[in-house]
Every structure is written in structure tokens, then in C-alpha cells.
Structure 1
Amino acid sequence: MPSTSTRPLGGLTVADIADLANDRAQWHLDLVLSAHVPAPVCESLEDCRSCGGPIPELRRLAVAGCQRCIECQGYFERKGARYAG
């Protein structure tokens, strides 16, 4: 009895059908990724939008578009994690 990976199905083997399915899935993935437009990055703020305190220059340079100081950002992320799906 032949292996199931080479069993003929309408002139194609199971391996051929799997290859075609993988090629089609890759095509769809490539299509979606090519259509993706990254969100524009705004400039980093000098003052935290949550507490109003200054955001250090090194943080503003390291994290493009940061809007909160490190303490407020940590709180914001922890609060968000509680409500995530």
C-alpha cells in the first residue's frame, strides 16, 4: 500500500495538494502584508500627557512618539493589560 503522502488524488499527490495550499496561504499573507500601512509616528512630547511632568530627552530619542513618562507609561500598560481580551 502506498504512503498517504504520495497517494494520487485526481492526478495530484497529497504532497502536491499541500504544496498548493501552502503557496496559496503564502500568497494571501504576502498580499495582506503588502497592503499594510504603518501608523504614522508622531513626535515625542516634552511633557507627559498623563502627569504633565517632563519626559527625559533620552527617552524621547529612544522611543519615537512617546507621550508619557516612564512611570505613567508603565501604569498605562499595566492598566491596559487588565482589560485586554
Structure 2
Amino acid sequence: MADVIDQANEWAEQMRLGAIARQCHRSAAPSALWCEDCGERIPEGRRVAVSGCDCCVSCQEIREIRGN
């Protein structure tokens, strides 16, 4: 059982490090006004909070689930 838990912890650590690395390498480009995936307008709060975003929250969640 400990092996499964160790593997899960290792996977979680790798995911965390990957997420940190992606955030560190994000460009400071202006955020898009319209979502690249669904075409809906990206709310101003998201555009301000996440510099350089190119999709809405819903589509970002889908991207993260898919591993994009």
C-alpha cells in the first residue's frame, strides 16, 4: 500500500512543479478579449488577474483536465 501512496505523492509533486514552471514561463502579453476556445468574451477580472490569458475560466479548466 505504501508504494501506491508514494507513487501518488510523486505524481502530485511532479504536477505541482510543472504548474509552477508553466507560470514562471508565461509571457506578460496582454490578455485576450475573446476566448480562443469558445469565442465568449473573457471577463475583465480574469484578464487583469491572469496576464496573458487567452481563454475563459471554463475553457481553462477543460485545458487543465486534458493536460494542455
Band the TM-score falls in, shorter-chain normalisation: 0.5 to 0.7
| CA shift for structure 1 position 40 | 3.1
> Which portions of structure 1, spanning 4 or more consecutive aligned residues, are displaced by more than 3 angstroms?
none
In structure 2, the partner of 1:72 is 59
Higher helix share: 2
Structure possessing the higher radius of gyration over alpha carbons? 1
Does 2:23 correspond to 1:42?
no
Q: Greater share of strand residues, 1 or 2?
A: 1
- Aligned-pair distance for 1:39? 5.0
User: How many aligned residue pairs are there?
Assistant: 44
RMSD: 1.6
Greater RCO, 1 or 2 (C-alpha within 8 Å, sep 6+): 2
Task: State the identity as a percent.
Answer: 41
Offset of residue 41 of structure 1: 1.9
Output the TM-score relative to the length of structure 2.
0.58
